[in-house]
Amino acid sequence: MSFRLTILGTSSALPTSDRYPTAHVLNVYERLYLIDCGEGTQMQMRRYHIHFGKINHIFISHLHGDHFFGLYPLLSTYNLMGRKTPLHIYAPASIEEMLNRHLEDFDISLGYELIIHPLAGRTVKLILSDKRVEVFSFPLKHRVKTYGFLFREKMADRNMIRSKIAEYHLTIAEISSLKKGKDILREDGEVISYDEVTLAPPVPASYAFCSDTGYFPKLSSFVAGVGLLYHEATFGDELDALARKVGHSTARQAATIARDAGVGRLLLGHFSARYMSPETLEEEARQVFPATDAAREGQSYDITS
């Protein structure tokens, strides 16, 4: 499996006895990407056997405590574990000053480098490209600067169709050329097209994370067609007005974004502590977008497209 998402927390600002604040771990071919880092994230990582050493990139959607309070202790833990590998943090720009002051306050000298990548921009923006994945940020609509993240698996090369090699008596030189994506023009004028003799690779996996946001229609264009969309659903229908006021969404609004964006599946989270169980939120969303699930602590989701 190429993309595997593990949910560490599904609470909104107020944790409950069984819901932790927001943190997700995306496993892309055994590279782990940590997305948001609420209080207790490192405890949840231990509980669900997340390998600390495989995380080199942390994404923080915004600087509200329930998405961020676990970062200080996690940085401190990495230091105690003797980490040497640089750690990349993608977050609103003011995080740098906050982290530096904090390290100074606590007289912590990190044995590894922190590399801060400040988030900005009014649309979808590439912020990281490695061998396997491209990561984009995009703006959300919340009370402070807040960004969503989109992880898209890099498209693999097309594969040669074996039977076509015999059919066209392809030479090694021709195969090499085709593998570079070039069509072949033979001396007799015959054209052998790259698309005809190769097979498309599987659809790349993609995952979008929308932590805290009020409803705005344009969001669906930012996450169009993703395999799995995580979208906050702090409230149910009955608190629609409150959601608008505090820059959050109802489950139905999350589903509306999912439907309009034509995503594969929708995952809800960031549930208000007033809901003992997220079932009613799940039901309200399914009325608009049936392929919806409420996220639960410790559950993993395979993302196949």
Name the minimum Å distance from CB 83 to a copy of itself.
12
Q: Tell me the number of residues near a copy of itself by CB under 8 A.
A: 32
The reply to whether 106 sits near a copy of itself by the rule CB under 8 A is: yes
Select from 173, 155, 140 the least CA-distant residue to 64: 140
Query: Does the active-site annotation cover 66?
Result: yes
Which of residues 1, 29, 43, 218 is near a copy of itself by CB under 8 A? 43
Catalytic annotation, pick one of 36, 66, 105, 195: 66
The reply to whether 39 sits near a copy of itself by the rule CB under 8 A is: yes
What is the 3 state secondary structure string of the chain? CCEEEEEEECECCCCCCCCCCCEEEEEECCEEEEECCCCCHHHHHHHCCCCHHHEEEEECCCCCHHHCCCHHHHHHHHHHCCCCCCEEEEEECCHHHHHHHHHHHCCCCCCCCEEEEEECCCCCEEEEECCCEEEEEEECCCCCCCEEEEEEECCCCCEECHHHHHHCCCCHHHHHHHHCCCCEECCCCCEECHHHHEECCCCCCEEEEECCCCCCCCHHHHCCCCCEEEEECCECHHHHHHHHHHCCCEHHHHHHHHHHHCCCEEEEECECCCCCCCHHHHHHHHCCCCCEEECCCCCEEEECC
Which of residues 24, 64, 231, 252 is near a copy of itself by CB under 8 A? 64
Which of residues 2, 31, 63, 132 is near a copy of itself by CB under 8 A? 63
Strands 31-35 and 55-59: parallel
Residue number, 43 or 185, with CB nearest to a copy of itself: 43
Residue number, 42 or 137, with CB nearest to a copy of itself: 42
Name the minimum Å distance from CB 20 to a copy of itself.
7
Name the minimum Å distance from CB 114 to a copy of itself.
16
Contact region for a copy of itself (CB under 8 A) — 100-108, 225-233, 263-271, 282-290? 100-108
Task: Please list every residue from 19 through 38 that binds a copy of itself, using CB under 8 A.
Answer: 20
The reply to whether 109 sits near a copy of itself by the rule CB under 8 A is: no
The reply to whether 93 sits near a copy of itself by the rule CB under 8 A is: no
Contact region for a copy of itself (CB under 8 A) — 28-36, 93-101, 167-175, 210-218? 93-101
Q: At what angle do helices 251-261 and 279-286 cross, to 10 degrees?
A: 40
Residue number, 53 or 202, with CB nearest to a copy of itself: 53
The reply to whether 299 sits near a copy of itself by the rule CB under 8 A is: no
One symbol per residue from 120 to 149: x for binding a copy of itself (CB under 8 A), - otherwise; what is it?
------------------------x-----
The total of other beta-carbon atoms located within 10 Å of residue 89's CB is: 20
Strands 55-59 and 87-92: parallel
Contact region for a copy of itself (CB under 8 A) — 66-74, 125-133, 150-158, 192-200? 66-74
The reply to whether 17 sits near a copy of itself by the rule CB under 8 A is: yes
* Residues noted as catalytic: 66
Residues in contact with a copy of itself by CB under 8 A are 13-17, 20, 39-40, 42-43, 46-47, 63-66, 69-70, 72-73, 76-77, 80-81, 94, 98, 101, 105-108, 144
